Amino acid sequence: MAGVTKTYGKVHALDDVSLEVKSGEFLTLLGPSGSGKTTLLMVLAGFTRPDCGSLKFGDEEVIRKPPHLRDLGMTFQSYALFPHMSVAGNVGYPLRLRRVPKAEVARRVEEALETVQLGGFGERRIDQLSGGQRQRVAVARAIVFEPRILLMDEPLSALDKKLRDQMQIELRHLHEKLGMTTVYVTHDQREALTMSDRIAVVNHGRIMQLATPRDLYERPANRFVADFIGESTFLDVTRRSDGVAVEETPLILSEPLPEARDLVMMIRPERIRLSETGPQDGANNFAATATEVVYQGDSYLLHADLAGGKQIAMRGAVTGKSVSSLPASGDKITLTIAPEDTVLIDAGEV
Ligand code: ADP
Ligand code: MG
């Protein structure tokens, strides 16, 4: 899609969005609530007509094409199942709409149910199913007519964490098996990182960055993305004649300086090391005072004040050794960050 804008009164739900989805890829729209994700999906599906812009499937302009002619399957934020129909009735609905013969409907419904691991559930009523099963019925209904494109709007948000984790893997496997181009919506950054080939981070109706999970996390294009994905602390960077510095510490970098005039250093809590032997050669060292240490079982979280007064958070692995030597509040410590983990980004707010 190119130059797509959709306004509701004064709200720019979509603000000049251009986006290219590759055939067969799993692309996720990730953003906070109200950022425009559902609107973007509805434009792709054809339920929402944008104010302007173009939408092409391959070489074909489809912006005026009604939803049922776009050859796409969709699951909605609410499951939107028909409660009075059986599971088979729900899943077969798109086929009956397309006037597929009865015997073939039955065969393809069973096949779709098998795919989502609900084989034999056809006669059940929707209200006899758990949340996870309903979700799978919604997926079966979206894939039963083998659409070119599958659109899913926060399909797992109503499920508890364990089931959500499991369904993430299942949906990913389903994508690998069927090879359908998939556009998936979530506000959950971990879900996006787990499932996607690429992620488009959306904010205020605009795409902030489109990249692989790894590039987004390692090299966010701006402060919004760095803040939204993962945890980070930002420290002001000062320029010097011989390079850049943070808190009076000249930085050793592994990459050339970004072009932006004002820079901040992005620090991920898990990329900091607590040095037991003071400053390390070849790394960036910060003297700090521990203010709080929280033991969390699989890891510990340490808050510290840097010499200049800035707060910083670090996360460390808990091992038999580290657990018995965690610093206490008030201890003087040295925090070490490798040059590869010293990431500078544009300080400008977006
Ligand atoms: P998301 O799915 O990311 O939570 P939406 O796409 O639903 O966000 O909404 C984006 C913005 O557009 C929000 O500010 C929302 O209030 C507004 N919006 C969406 N749909 C409508 C509508 N039908 N009428 C008025 N405002 C809408
Ligand atoms: Mg939404």
Same structural domain for residues 212 and 279?
no
d(CA 207, CA 17): 7
- Last residue within a domain, chosen from 178, 207, 224: 224
What integer pLDDT is reported at residue 349 of this predicted model? 65
pLDDT in tens, 286-302: 999 999 999 999 999 99
Would you call 44 helix, strand, or coil by DSSP? Answer: helix
Domain of residue 256, CATH code: 2.40.50.100
Contact call for residues 226 and 232 (beta carbons, < 8 A)? yes
The ligand minimizing its distance to the Cα of 34 is: 1
Q: Tokens 């990249």 — which residue? A: 211
| Assigned token pair, 17 | 């969005």
Same structural domain for residues 239 and 212?
no
Nearest CA to ligand 1 atom 17: 13
d(CA 81, CA 141): 9
Domain of residue 155, CATH code: 3.40.50.300
| Assigned token pair, 314 | 């670090």
Q: Give the mean pLDDT of the chain.
A: 93
What integer pLDDT is reported at residue 49 of this predicted model? 95
Same structural domain for residues 215 and 328?
no
| Assigned token pair, 201 | 């981070």
Count Cβ atoms within 10 A of the Cβ of residue 162 and give its class: 0-12 exposed, 13-18 middle, 19 or more buried.
Answer: exposed
- Last residue within a domain, chosen from 173, 198, 224: 224
What integer pLDDT is reported at residue 321 of this predicted model? 82
Rounded to 10 deg, the angle between the 87-97 and 102-115 helix axes is 120
Would you call 286 helix, strand, or coil by DSSP? Answer: strand
The ligand minimizing its distance to the Cα of 13 is: 1
* Spans of the chain below 70 pLDDT: 349-350
* Number of domains into which the chain is organized: 2
Ligand 1-lining residues (CB < 6 angstroms): 8, 11, 13, 31, 33-39
Nearest CA to ligand 1 atom 20: 39
Nearest CA to ligand 1 atom 15: 34
Nearest CA to ligand 1 atom 11: 13
What integer pLDDT is reported at residue 350 of this predicted model? 61
115: Cβ–Cβ under 8 A, 6 or more apart, which residues? 140, 143, 174, 177, 178
Of ligand 1's listed atoms, the one at least distance from the Cα of 153 is: 2
**Model pTM?**
0.90
Nearest CA to ligand 1 atom 23: 8
Same structural domain for residues 71 and 139?
yes
Same structural domain for residues 200 and 242?
no
Structural domain containing residue 146? 2-224
- Last residue within a domain, chosen from 177, 203, 224: 224
What integer pLDDT is reported at residue 247 of this predicted model? 86
What residues have their beta carbon closer than 5 A to ion ligand 2?
38
The ligand minimizing its distance to the Cα of 36 is: 1
Q: Tokens 């013969």 — which residue? A: 101
d(CA 262, CA 245): 12
d(CA 59, CA 201): 26
Contact call for residues 159 and 167 (beta carbons, < 8 A)? yes
Same structural domain for residues 241 and 328?
yes
